[in-house]
Amino acid sequence: MKKELAGYPVVVEIPVAWGEMDAFGHLNHAVYFRYMETARILYFERLGIPEFLGRDPLGPILGAISCRYRAPLTYPDRVSVGVKVTRVEEDRFVMAYVIFSHGLGKLAAEGEGTMVCFDYRQNRKAHLPAKLKTRIADLEAKGF
């Protein structure tokens, strides 16, 4: 595994599609967020969301996300997107992302997003369920 991806318990490989480039001839900026989403969804699957939350009306929603672009991506290429949880608070947790370009042999971008625990029944923020915190800790532990 690439050292840039070390410490990321969930990594997904994505082929860059030609059609994801824009008129500048680079991967369009918005697509990096699609790539991070793909990794995030996989992370949640590994956590067992939604199955394990069962009929709980709670779920994490994306409160904010950012991306720092370090090198332009172009087709053809293949990226590995790593994601990990870097901080857990009462009603939210922070996820860090890296997008590693196999073509360039280095990071193309880094991102960070905040997931907020939301109670769909009461339509407001809620505390993270203890079992979700445990799952995150377990998943992160496996990755290190």
Residue 34 binds a second copy (CB under 8 A) = yes
DSSP three-state, residue 102: coil
Q: Under the criterion CB under 8 A, does residue 1 sit at the interface with a second copy? A: no
For residue 129 the two structure tokens come to 């369920």
Cα–Cα distance, 8 to 99 (Å, whole number): 11
Pick 5 or 14: Cβ nearer a second copy: 14
Residues 37-66 contacting a second copy, CB under 8 A: 37-38, 41, 45, 61-66
Taking residues 66 to 95 in sequence order and writing x for each that binds a second copy by CB under 8 A, - otherwise, the string is xxxx-----xx-------------------
Name residue 14's beta-bridge partners. Answer: 79
Q: At 31, list the tokens.
A: 């697509």
Residues 97 and 77: their CA atoms lie apart, in Å, by 18
The site for a second copy (CB under 8 A) is made up of 14-15, 17-19, 21-23, 25, 28-31, 33-34, 37-38, 41, 45, 61-69, 75-76
